[in-house]
Amino acid sequence: MTAFAFEISTTDGSARRGRVTTAHGSFETPAFMATATAATVKAMHPDSVRATGTELAICNTYHLMLRPTAERVNELGGLHKFMDWPGPILTDSGGYQVMSLAKLRNIKEEGVTFRSHLDGSQYELTPERSVEIQHLLDSNITMCFDECTPHPATLDEAALSMRRSMRWAERCKTTFKPRPGYALFGINQGSIYPDLRKESADHLQKIGFDGYAVGGLAVGEGQKDMFRMLEATTPYLPKDKPRYLMGVGKPDDIVGGVLRGIDMFDCVMPTRSGRTGQAFTWQGTLNMRNAKHLSDPLPIDDSCSCPACKKYSRAYIHHLFRAEEMLGPMLLTWHNLQYYQDLMKELRLAIAEKRLAGFAFSFHVRQNGGRIEPDDDTEVMLE
């Protein structure tokens, strides 16, 4: 059977271009995975998701354990069959959702008890149960169950939270059942404290994982601190393992993450924005509800190959949103996901041709209307 593997083909500074191989196929890195929280990418047919060039999907332990349950998905053949996604699947451990969605949660050493945000039913999620659920779902990449440290947090609070996550990571490693083509990723924590990030990275390496994620960022700390933490963390992560920045993000966050050695990204941004009328383009974002698009015959982006751009005008997309027609969110979600995949393709090409720094600068200028006046956060990205 196919072994889980990560091969780096080219580097450019700290950035890497590579390929991850799993039991259900491979994906190129840097990669942006489609958010399929409840075993579906909202407003998208699986064939449409694949048409954008998306190779990897992310599903969620917390949501799927509530409904339809991991046991039912397993009985029906696992996630790949259940959601018609034969390619690689990564599952979040549920830790973030327990902290952000669940009610009356109680964190203790054993795990977390909480009440469902759906009906108030009580559950307990432990490192062992999280790994078991992800196994039942047949996830190719299982994430360790961790505590997502809230922001802001004091040094002592962040240290307590991070060290608990490291103890949980050890239990996840013990519970995980190794098999060809499947992987377990550890999650680095430590809030915005470099020493804690290094301690976490060192601890995770001693345990030993197939890949390493950076968690607890994009939770309100701002882009400057996020990039600072990546610079304090990625040098201490193994060079031969994939690195995943969880929950990120906006296009310029992704460019900055790639510059700092990140290989994998996920975020609800393209799909959520697609449902609310925001379009991503190479010249910045557009609000398709804005009246200026009322009679605009141009496509959203004339360089885009998605159906929204090839077949329809901005005026039509504007009309769909104003009329509250379902086709509007469907077309705009497709466009946004296509944009994100096109961005990843351009980043991979720039790394291969060793011109990533120039691409990043040009990208920033275009996103800011041609102005070469980066704010403080972007200056950090372009250093």
Residue 328: both structure tokens together: 């509007």
Active-site residue identified among 210, 266, 301, 342:
266
d(CA 375, CA 179): 47
Catalytic residue check, 47:
no
Burial class (CB in 10 A: 0-12, 13-18, 19+), 294: exposed
Number of H helices and E strands in the chain, helices first, is: 16, 16
DSSP per-residue codes, 299-325: -S-TT--SHHHHH--HHHHHHHHHTT-
Residue 249: both structure tokens together: 């993000």
Give the β-pairing of 211-214 and 183-188: parallel
d(CA 285, CA 335): 12
d(CA 8, CA 133): 31
Three-state SS at 280: strand
If phi > 0 it is left, if psi is from -120 to 50 it is alpha, else beta; for residue 115 that is beta
Active-site residue identified among 92, 146, 253, 301:
92
Which run of H or of E encompasses 122?
strand 122-125
Angle 251-259/223-233 helices, nearest 10 degrees? 20
Catalytic residue check, 195:
no
User: Mind telling me the catalytic residues?
Assistant: 92, 266
